[in-house]
Chain A
């Protein structure tokens, strides 16, 4: 079945530690996104990528890093610089024919999320 797989489902971070959240999709989508969700805040964009080897910062990129070496994979690293990492993290993808117009007209498909907590 096609879809987006996030792992792990639950993750615990020790102070000063970097942790990496995995996101894999087999939908053949060009565009991938990372969102952070806190209670009452909606979904806030961390990073997005429209094509392999290219990515852009979203609204709350500080303390996070990403890579896009393969079309199907978009891992997110929560670095020690992110002082308040406890949140629900969602990965999404959408088809993006060309670099313009894709996100406006195309459905975003979400993974089941990773819940990150600090020990």
Chain B
């Protein structure tokens, strides 16, 4: 039931782009994205809901393909501050009571 994230790790230079994917074996109602710096609390980035509703940061974009049960997070013109581990959390139906998180994708941005 745990969603699968890919890739496991990404190394970028400042200004480069990256895509992080999150796939589920079950139909999804919503997908949440969080970023965590080492030893710190995860910080909310984006929620994508079935039907197209989104809430999140203006500078970060994401997509949710309901038919493929996948979500992708797009990081464009990366900055040093983008470094960290990105987690997707999924909810399979509207009555879901908890997020199920993937194992994470580690992004390293260097100058």
Contacts and interface: CB of A to CB of B under 8 A. Distances in A.
Contacts of A58: 98
Interface stretch (B10-18, B66-74, B76-84, B88-96): B88-96
A56 B41 contact: no
A111 B41 contact: yes
B104 A105 contact: no
Interface residues on B, range: 20 to 34
Given A100-B95, A104-B30, A43 B49 contact: no
Interface in A26-84: 31, 33, 35, 40-45, 48, 50, 56, 58
B107 interface: no
Given A104-B91, A105-B49, A45 B100 contact: yes
A103 B41 contact: no
Given A90-B41, A104-B49, A105-B49, A43 B97 contact: no
A101 B44 contact: no
B44 A100 contact: no
B49 A50 contact: no
Interface in B1-56: 2, 29-30, 32, 34, 39-44, 47, 49, 55
A33 B102 contact: no
Q: Is the interface of B mostly helix, strand, loop or mixed?
A: loop
Contact of B42 (A43, A44, A104): A43
A108 B44 contact: yes
Contacts of A88: 39
Contacts of B39: 88, 113, 115
Contacts of B89: 43, 108
B101 interface: yes
A11 B23 CA distance: 35
Nearest to A31: B97
Interface of A: 4, 31, 33, 35, 40-45, 48, 50, 56, 58, 88, 90, 99-101, 103-105, 107-113, 115
